[in-house]
Amino acid sequence: MSDDVPQIDPRRLLVLRAVAQAGSLAGAARKLGWTQPASASR
């Protein structure tokens, strides 16, 4: 057996849980208080 077990990023689990609870990425972003970054190109 190999000891190469991937590590789980707790932030990704938090996002996954928020998406599951909110039902969408946009809902999860609102739940987490995240906003979209401003676009550099206009």
pLDDT at 31: 93
Backbone region of residue 2 per phi and psi (left: phi > 0; alpha: psi in -120 to 50; beta: other values): beta
Place 36 in a pLDDT band, splitting at 50, 70 and 90.
confident
pLDDT at 40: 59
pTM above 0.85, yes or no: no
Length of the chain: 42
Spatial distance between the Cα atoms of 10 and 16, rounded to a whole number of angstroms = 10
